[in-house]
Chains A and B, each alone.
Chain A
Amino acid sequence: MSEVLAVCACALAALSGLPGLFSSRNGRAGERMACSLIAVAGIAGVSAAVLAFVAPSPEGISQRWAVPGGALQVRVDGLSAMFLGQIFFISILGAIYGLGYWPQAAHRENGRKLRLFYGLLTAGIGLLIIAGNSVLFLVGWEVMALAAFLTVTTEDEKPEVRQAGYLYLCTTRAGTLCLFALFALLFGATGRMDFDTHGVDARGPVGTAIFLLALSGFGLKAGLMPLHIWLPPAHASAPTHVSALMSGVLIKTGIYALARVAAGFEHPPLWWGGMLLSLGTASAVLGVAFAIGQHDVKRLLAYHSVENIGIMCMGLGLALIGRASGHPDLVLLGLAGALLHVWNHGLFKALLFLGAGSVIHGTGTREMDRLGGLLKRMPGTALLFLVGAVAICGLPPLNGFVSELLVYLGLYRGAAARDGRWWIATSFAAPALALVGALALACFAKAFGAIFLGEPRSEDADLAHEAPRTMLGPMIALAACCVLIGLAPALVAPALDSAAAAWGVSTPLTAAAPLGKITLAAVLLLAALGFTAAALVSRIRGSRAAPTWDCGYAAPTARMQYTSSSFAQMLVGLFAFALRPREQAPRLMGPFPAAATYHGEVPDAVLDRILLPFVRATANAFESLRFIQRGNVQAYLGYILLTLVLLLVWK
């Protein structure tokens, strides 16, 4: 039943933008139609997920398909259901938000195109999550990749958007190449096309190749450092509700596929988990360090996706280590932590992106150094953004804390193990995660402070207006989910148990983690906050207001405030060995220096310092072979004929 619902949801989502193509460019009918279709599809998709948790049907449905190796095989188990529910939930909210953020009336050229590909993107992700066959999975994967490219390049008249789109297209092609090799190897090893790795020898060369290919192919999509290069420009260039969908859902497909492929290996070698844990840790630390150096709020959020993907990979790595060393509690805590973080990150990152979108909508700029004082002008957006910021820093009493706590518990269980020496690896990951948490806090204190607090730094910010209800509504829904999971994590435990069953874990999460006590602590915290607030408010009622006391300076201006760049300066300096910031600082001479300007930025070090020089060097090295590339079709056909003949002779 849930499979049928899920397929209907995907089909409806795929078609949602079509009616709009035939409606008028000026009317609102097209966008309302698309939004309602996505809403119906979303409700079907979410109910499919809920149904799969309540009444799982292990077989799924299967139909024959003429494509070689393909079968129309669909299944919704616990693992798929976790991701399926999230996709459709966030897709509905994004579509509603789009009504206010990207109205047809204001975007006559690209509004219809955007809605068509938005629906296709949702459908592609949904399809690959429920696919039980490699070919069907690849179809979903490619629909998703191309639809994402076409939504990212919605404003293709801007050169930076085109550039971001091409970069994304190149990396997603490279990732798909890895997947073709992966599925071919898997077919060779098992003789089936259902990407089930049960029975593959994990310690043999094929098993190793499968793991490394999965790590590269899915890691590229997830944005694991150093494969994250496409992510910041693509997230910054896409319309904001698409960024929310991409950051909240699309990149998680990499985590889903990694978890799915790894599930079949029952005795993986220890270095798999160790490698994933180290990569995840590096990704988390460097992702947040890069985020601190950004001025563009959307690029900042994009680097935080790299960080959070790192945390999920730490959880998955821990689960693999648990399997390799025979510690089922590590498997449960690592996997549950990673999967809950998938949900949580989807919720708070979508919330933050939508909040950033409201800021862009209200002020017309993404530069944090031009904003400020928006809390008074956009009180609703500010409060909702604050909820997202506290949640993403992993602070109690919100949802980010719960998933990070699960990962921490797993890391500490690993560090307390008495067999072998591998515990040292896990014990260095926990302080690294603490560093990540503290840096994320610094980063979001900076972002929230620079955007919403203090005085406006430009006229745009001064004249900002609050977002309409179609934009605030979806944000309220996301924030409510963040609070709910933070206060009552036991509610999601059955879903996590059901997803962990895909890895053969049977212990319930409530037995391994103190979920009830988290609720108690959260309630106590809220009570303490309420009591202190009531006491203070009753005492300061009727107090006077005056300008900020700026240490005796008589004429403070908004330009004297700390900006996001000045806030980040010390941390960027500490991480300069990895970030390689570019800075143009004037030298101030004499007692009355002339007016000067300062410019600082943190470009992507992997892209600018490693990848692009490497690509240029490769291109130069192959310059001598350019004579083969003649540019006429006859020559190319000749090459093909020649190759075929050679192959025939060889075999």
Chain B
Amino acid sequence: MNLHTLLLDVVHVAVLLLVPPFLLGVINKTKAAFAGRVGPPYLQPYYDLVKLWRKGSVFSTSTSWVFKAGPVVGFATAVLAGLLLPVAGHAPLSFEGDAILFAYLFALGRFFTVAAALDTGSAFEGMGSAREATFSSLAEPALFFGLLVLGRLARSLSLEVMLTGGHWPPRSAASLVLVMAALFIVLLAENSRIPFDDPNTHLELTMIHEVMVLDHGGPALGTILYGASLKLFIFAALVVGIALPDLGNPWMSLGALLTGVLAVAVAIGVVESLMARLRLVHVPSLLIAACLLSGFGIVLLAR
């Protein structure tokens, strides 16, 4: 390993750990702009995380170590998934098949988040965990169809090759656009954004992710929110990575990726400002639509 790759890896980890909360700030600013408000400062999510980390916490007498494992696994899996994704034209950990590991790491995080919610014995958190498990099982095939299209084009199952290979034949453009649309829907679902879930409500019967973490507070809640922002960043980078051409220079790639990720954050803010949350019964339909979109992406490759 030469010094340059080592430097890039350090930058990768730094970007992965430092940038994600900023995206939440951008989303909130965008929503505020649409509503004609000033909105909280861009750095507000960082202040919130620091505040939560300093707070004390109360744990339910019903809970066990599984409740504390939820935030830990959710955060650690997101960090590891972030290492598989090329940020500056190169991923610190990359091998044939890492795209599968990428998807399954988030699944591991989900298993423990759901288990932690069930550990409280609360009906609300049970409800949220059942919904999370249901909806993400519909989102999973959409993600895999998308990875499949990229895998066929890149002839590899490594995210680094899939996202930086970049010399796709022009006729695959239609497939890639469909996949990007499908993955953007998956991004909204997996990160509990409108129209699937509303990150601002906390006490409604229609919510999914927020209700699962009702009983977490202080440092545990901070870990969950930090992990969630990492997940948002990673999914945004995945969607952007499909569109970005191979720029050759790692620093230019990094700049382009960060610009793209910010654009995705603005797009999320726009979606949240313009759309209402879907009725819960319609959520599966949208996810199945995402599966079909990326399924058509495969069929279009068969020409």
Contact = CB atoms under 8 A, between A and B. Distances in A.
Interface string A414-444: 0110000101100110111111011101101
A546 interface: yes
Given A434-B140, A454-B119, A525-B105, A445 B133 contact: yes
B144 A551 contact: no
23 contacts: A389-B111, A409-B157, A421-B302, A431-B148, A434-B140, A437-B107, A441-B107, A441-B137, A444-B111, A445-B118, A454-B62, A513-B96, A514-B95, A517-B95, A518-B101, A532-B72, A532-B75, A540-B59, A545-B58, A549-B214, A560-B123, A562-B129, A574-B134
Interface string B110-126: 11001100111111111
A146 interface: no
B264 interface: no
B61 A547 contact: yes
Interface of B: 53, 56-64, 66, 68-69, 71-73, 75-77, 79-80, 83, 93, 95-98, 100-101, 103-105, 107-108, 110-111, 114-115, 118-127, 129-131, 133-134, 136-145, 148, 151-152, 155, 157, 203, 214-215, 218-220, 223, 284, 291, 295, 298-299, 302
A449 interface: yes
Contact of A445 (B79, B120, B129, B138): B129
Chain A interface main SS type = helix
A401 B104 contact: yes
Interface stretch (A78-86, A132-140, A392-400): A392-400
B72 A545 contact: no
B118 A562 contact: yes
Given A453-B64, A536-B68, A540-B220, A432 B118 contact: no
A453 B121 contact: yes
Chain B interface main SS type = helix
Nearest to B214: A549
A455 B122 CA distance: 9
A434 B141 contact: yes
Contacts of A372: 121
A424 B143 CA distance: 17
Given A521-B93, A548-B215, A570-B134, A454 B118 contact: yes
A401 B111 CA distance: 14
Nearest to B203: A551
B157 A394 contact: no
Contacts of A518: 101
B34 to A, nearest CB: 30
A454 B61 contact: no
Contacts of B295: 428, 431
A373 to B, nearest CB: 8
Contacts of A427: 148, 152, 298
B73 to A, nearest CB: 7
A342 interface: no
Given A550-B123, A562-B129, A449 B107 contact: no
Contacts of B136: 438
Among A539, A546, A547, A556, the most chain B Cβ lie within 10 Å of the Cβ of A539
Given A431-B291, A434-B140, A441 B110 contact: yes
A430 B107 CA distance: 16
B64 A529 contact: no
Among A435, A453, A551, the most chain B Cβ lie within 10 Å of the Cβ of A453
A536 B220 contact: yes
Contacts of A421: 302
Contact of A550 (B59, B105, B124): B124
Contact of B66 (A375, A394, A424): A375
Nearest to A426: B148
Contacts of A432: 141
Given A405-B97, A560-B123, A562-B127, A395 B137 contact: no
Contacts of B80: 521, 524-525, 528
Band of interface residues on A: 35 or more
A416 B165 CA distance: 15
Contact of B120 (A376, A389, A424, A454): A454
Given A430-B148, A521-B80, A532-B72, A547 B60 contact: yes
The 8 closest A-B pairs by CB, nearest first: A562-B126, A449-B118, A454-B121, A438-B137, A442-B133, A517-B95, A528-B76, A434-B144
A132 B73 CA distance: 49
A532 B76 contact: yes
Contacts of B111: 389-390, 393, 395, 441, 444-445
Interface string A368-404: 0000110110000000001001100111100001001
Contacts of A561: 121-123, 126
A550 B122 contact: yes
B140 A438 contact: yes
A545 B104 contact: no
Contact of A536 (B71, B95, B130, B145): B71
Contacts of A556: 121-122
B101 A521 contact: yes
Contacts of B96: 409, 513-514
A183 interface: no
Interface in A294-316: none
Contacts of B107: 393, 395, 437-438, 441
A540 B123 contact: no
A166 interface: no
A421 B141 CA distance: 21
B115 A448 contact: yes
Contact of B57 (A424, A450, A543, A570): A543
